[in-house]
Amino acid sequence: MDRKLLDILVCPLCKGKLTYRKKAGELICAVDRMAFPIRDDIPVMLEEEARKLAADEEINPEGDN
């Protein structure tokens, strides 16, 4: 993922900061506990395509860039 793109992308629901999970290929919103997929290097920022994070799923605030 391009760092410049990551810097301007926000959660489509709350407009909050996203964390990049490189290994999982996801952008994570800690506030809404949603994981937005990245497919073919393109973030899919649609609520219906995102997965809800499990209550016990840890959110790494630093990401795993």
Q: What is the pTM of this model?
A: 0.86
Domain 3-52 has CATH 2.20.25.10: yes
State how far the Cα of 7 lies from the Cα of 48, in Å rounded to an integer: 23
pLDDT digits (tens, 9 = 90+) for 24-63: 999 999 999 999 999 998 999 999 999 999 988 887 755 5
31 Cβ contact partners less than 8 Å away, ≥ 6 residues apart: 11, 14, 16
In this structure, which amino acid lies at residue 1?
A: M
Domain extents in the chain: 3-52
